[in-house]
Structure 1
């Protein structure tokens, strides 16, 4: 049996092209990236492989350099071995020795703790040496793949060592991973700390969902097609469901997850960002300021219902079956306190008080150990005002829907009624499906490829600024506080099902039901 060797990635087949000239790739200029937290899962499984994939696609400059910073007694070659193993295990593009050798020449490692002033002095000397030896031009991005408690000490050390201050004609940028605080007050405090060191346009808050092709395609779907936008409003839309379901548990993340929970972990950032993109008005241009401005207007207009008991639900998975595997309940997971009241499922109903969406409910839900892994946006349309058929002819007919699948199989599905073949008039739901993998020969870049490249290029349309973050906390904080004040634990649901009964009841009160993806 012969093995097909993938063709090298070239500029002609590059899916991350220059938007102004599709024939040209968007190649970053001279620069380096300093990565804090290189021993973590995110760095090993996502960030390092994404950097290699960008190099393999020809999108990084020849002198690009990667500096690792961690409390390890590693030499440069030890760090290179860690990156090599991560790339081999998780890169999406073929491994090419010549690309690897060129990239590895720019690897450096600085040992030290996040509050170690001497280590940051060594880091500053290392960065300056790269400017001389590798031609990085004084342009450096600092990626903080670390717990939020360390953001302030690291930013302080970057400022004290002069690393945050660019020379004229150069740039310094900082990249921050979620969570952006744990409530509105902490988010505002975090923003004050970071903006006290870096200017606002040099701060990139990563929400990796915004780097996914399908999320960006939502804007193309709406604003590049006349067939959708005329019905994308309260005259035709009955309701919107936004779902992020996971079939896995918390794994080894109890220390993090038990202090955060499903609502803070997913709704505050991912799902509210998806809501904003779904409900926003057309921006005047696809620029950072224009897109962000429209998203901010949506988030500012989101309103909770007065009765939070009836418009929200939370749950916690108990032992059950995930496929053919028997799995433990949340309270049985390693590292979880037996008295924990952390939710692993959260659902909420909100309204968007704008002219376009008046009276249209938005339902958001997320959870772990659910029936399958899926993230989707379902825009469900109202029923036709008149059906010239008998009731028996349409008894299996549901509501039309446009479903944007974000993961795992990115694409768009449309559900509509069609006649069943035969001599009788019988109308039944059918689906029309568009899948990225079937429609485009180019491979879809991983979200972190797009986001890292945008950081190096200084192009921020996909990164939320602090106004969006704070608006999201203003929406979520009252629900979190209501759950805390109630004193009742989350409602149990069996692993492998679709959440607690209270979530289904939330929909039934409105005469609706959750979609089964």
Structure 2
């Protein structure tokens, strides 16, 4: 099996003559997961690894090491992986795939302060390199709170785990990479400190910051929609676009999540990472190529040109859900949720107005919003176009006609909708809005991979296209920090009833310019 693992060639990133439609298979490697018993690992990471194996995208010698405090054997760890895969994998369970994956499972018991445990981890990785041909290549997945990063990074450095071992003559140098889950700090200063800390142990090219939204097929389709089609580019600018709305709405509450969410809030949890990345992909210029560096250059340009529109008491809104109805079920407000301080000022809804100060987007407001306990679960990007400069119709003919819009649905029901005016059948001239829909589920027979599948595979391939780099993270905080500081001094968030679409202040924010939020 070790020999089989070493036969997988490492593609040359500068020249790859293979058909790009053929999936690339990861080379020999190990993955070490810190926090492997946590909810994220069990629901997302472990099932994604199995799905990659099931699709034939992991090498035969692939090995997975779990690190946790549990008093477990390798068999106990294998049972956790099996249960997680059975409950949450996207692809069907196949015994032969499971048995191959199981052969590479190892467990190391210990705490992050335990020097002996990290020495055991180093020994375990050396044994896997020898027995399964993993070549010294290892990705360390930090599925742990940011407060634990310093001690884990220190241990990896102290035990020589962050540096590749000496490669045999004629073989490429082994790689070591680190995968970090959000949040990437809680403001600009903490993000800068965190980045500096990580880069003392791993060079920036070896740091992969997971933003699972960037792994979604529909998010990647923004690039195809914009740059593979001549249809959109002539009107993708301030001459034709009135404004852009980027929404991530959730219908769930925060019961049981107080330990993570209280004191963080909706803006830090979603706007700083997910929504600002969606803005960057929507507003960026065409890259020279789709090489990771070129994509990062264009996203950084957009984020560098993006600013909050002032005055912030009129162009931002934050709210907190109160008791109400979610569908047919009564639900409690945030302050009654288990674990939350009855005086908590944590916002569960946040909306901001941004200006992208470039020639393409001058004068076009970008409205970003996110919230819990809203009317339905939906994430979308809506490009709302200006009205026609002249309508040769009586007002009664077009009273039901809105603005043209192109809506990219990220979740659920992934796809794209075009909204435009059409004549109503009949003897009179009456124009109203109609929709033209493209649905991934109907257009393609193959299910889309989960975001974590794509992102984990990119880590193992060393392809950083979908991962924000230091500068993107820090620019995002630079954009958001003034709003956070403003809200901190503005008093309690505005209340909104669960099951609605946010506080009145958010509606007023758009109404001041004669606009209104979409109701997805």
Q: Could you say which TM-score interval applies, normalised by the shorter chain? A: over 0.9
Q: Does 1:152 align with 2:156?
A: no
Alignment correspondent of 2:324: 320
Deviations 1:189-243, CA, capped at 9 Å, x for gaps: 0001100000110000000000000000001100111111110000000000000
C-alpha distance in structure 2 between counterparts of 1:365 and 1:25, whole Å: 36
Other-structure match for 2:461: 457
Please give the alpha-carbon distance, in whole angstroms, between the structure 2 residues aligned to 1:394 and 1:417: 9
Secondary structure in 2 matching 1:176: strand
The equivalent of 2:187 in structure 1 is: 183
SS at structure 2 position matched to 1:432: strand
Secondary structure of the corresponding residue to residue 392 of structure 1: helix
Equivalent residue in structure 2 for 1:332, among 330, 336, 345: 336
| CA distance in structure 2 between the aligned counterparts of 1:514 and 1:379, rounded to whole angstroms | 12
- SS class of match (2:448): coil
State how far apart, in whole Å, the 2-side matches of 1:373 and 1:458 are: 33
Q: Separation in 2 of the partners of 1:454 and 1:210? A: 12
1:208 and 2:212 correspond? yes
Give the equivalent residue in structure 2 for 1:27. Answer: 25
Q: In 2, Cα distance between the equivalents of 1:180 and 1:351?
A: 24
CA distance in 2 between partners of 1:92 and 1:358 (Å): 43
Shift of 1:23: 5.3
SS in 2 for 1:196: helix
Q: State the TM-score, normalizing by the size of structure 1.
A: 0.96
Task: Output the CA distance in 1 between the equivalents of 2:437 and 2:231.
Answer: 16
For 2:506, the equivalent position in structure 1 comes to 503
Q: Give 3-state SS (helix, strand or coil) of 2:201's partner.
A: coil
Task: Give the Cα–Cα distance (whole angstroms) in 2 for the partners of residues 209 and 442 of structure 1.
Answer: 20
CA distance in 2, matches of 1:196, 1:42: 27
1:467 to 468, 471, 478: 471
Between Structure 1 and Structure 2, how many residues are aligned?
499
- Measured against aligned partners, the alpha-carbon deviations of 1:66-104 in whole angstroms (never above 9, x if no partner) come to 000011001000000001000010000000000001101
Per-residue displacement from partner, 1:405-438 (whole Å, max 9, x unpaired)? 0001110000000111111111110000001010
CA distance in 2, matches of 1:269, 1:154: 24
Does structure 1 residue 46 correspond to structure 2 residue 50?
Answer: no
Question: Structure 1 unaligned runs (5+)?
Answer: 1-17
Relative to structure 1, is the Cα distance of residues 19 and 101 closer, same or farther in structure 2, using a 3 angstrom cutoff?
Answer: farther
Deviations along 1:278-301, one digit per CA (max 9) or x if unpaired, are 000000000111001100010010
Residues 34-433 of structure 1 aligned to structure 2 (within 5 Å): 34-167=32-165, 168=167, 169-433=173-437
CA distance in 1, matches of 2:17, 2:98: 28
Q: Deviations over 1:32-65 (max 9, x none)?
A: 1000001111100000000000000000000001
SS in 2 for 1:24: coil
Write the distance in 2 (CA, Å) between the matches of 1:194 and 1:228: 40
RMSD (Å), alpha carbons? 1.0
**Counterpart-to-counterpart distance in 2, 1:251 and 1:447:** 25
Q: 4+ residue stretches of structure 1 with deviation over 3 A?
A: none
Normalising by structure 2, report the TM-score. Answer: 0.95
SS at match of 2:428: coil
Q: Secondary structure at the match of 1:350?
A: strand
44-53 vs 107-116, which deviates more?
A: 107-116
Q: Secondary structure at the match of 2:454?
A: helix
Q: Distance between the aligned counterparts of 2:21 and 2:380, measured in 1?
A: 32
For residue 417 of structure 2, give the secondary structure of its aligned residue in structure 1: strand
Equivalent residue, structure 2, for 1:516: 519
Distance 1:70 1:393 in 2: 67
Q: Secondary structure at the match of 1:25?
A: coil
Q: Cα offset for 1:19?
A: 10
1:259, CA displacement in angstroms? 1.9
SS of the residue aligned with 2:128?
A: helix
Secondary structure of the corresponding residue to residue 60 of structure 2:
coil
Shift of 1:306: 2.5
* CA positional deviation for 1:344: 0.2
Structure 1 residue 24, shift from structure 2 partner: 2.5
Distance 1:25 1:317 in 2: 44
What runs of 5+ residues in structure 2 fail to find an aligned partner? Answer: 1-15, 168-172
